[in-house]
Amino acid sequence: MKRAWLTFAAALVLAVWTVPTFAQRGGETQGNNLRVRIGAFFPSKSISRDKANTWFGAGVDYVLKREVAVSEGYTTDLGVSLDYYGSGDVYNVPVLLNYWGKIGNGLSYTAGVGVGFSKRPVSGDTKTGFAYTIGVGYDFTIGQAGATQLFIDLRYNGLTGTDNEHNGFAVYLGAKF
């Protein structure tokens, strides 16, 4: 458990140190760079569901570069994310590099890869593995243009090296600032 918290703290310090560097570059990002989400994770493996059918999930994303690719009605962003999903003492903390696409009318998708730090359900040992996510979402604005933007995401999260114990679907409600 101490190792997981140490890793989480190191990732947080790295994010806090890195984010202002990208912000000072100028031109790469503009508005709504921070995304915060909260929701539920539904593990796909029965050994994980024995712990709980629904796990708590939350995440923070930061856009590093906007409009990596642009065409009519289609834009993409590149960024990083730090997530947590777990139940009790079983968890996964993925740190990912993400690619977000926006397809007009509020539809979006995301794909991300990185490293995950986890604690397994039965054995209780901690593992580090290749983490990934893929998902679809819908963006909508509350209030006037430029106001807080909300989004709903449906994702499949995975982690190698844990016999798929940390794989499953997640549903998030989030806001962009």
Checking if the pLDDT of 156 tops 90, the result is yes
What pLDDT, on the 0 to 100 scale, is given for residue 71?
83
CATH of the domain at 12: 2.40.160.20
- 126 contact partners, CB below 8 Å, separation of at least 6: 1, 3, 4, 117, 118, 119, 120
Checking if the pLDDT of 58 tops 60, the result is yes
How does residue 69 score in pLDDT terms, banded at 50, 70 and 90? confident
Report d(CA 19, CA 80) in Å as an integer: 10
Does this model's pTM top 0.85? no
Report d(CA 19, CA 26) in Å as an integer: 12
Q: Domain range holding 87?
A: 2-176
> Which burial class, exposed, middle or buried, applies to 1 when counting CB atoms under 10 A from its CB (0-12, 13-18, 19+)?
exposed
Q: What are phi and psi of 11, to 5 degrees?
A: -65, -40
Number of domains into which the chain is organized? 1
Checking if the pLDDT of 22 tops 90, the result is no
Reduced to 3 states (helix: H, G, I; strand: E, B; else coil), residue 155 is strand
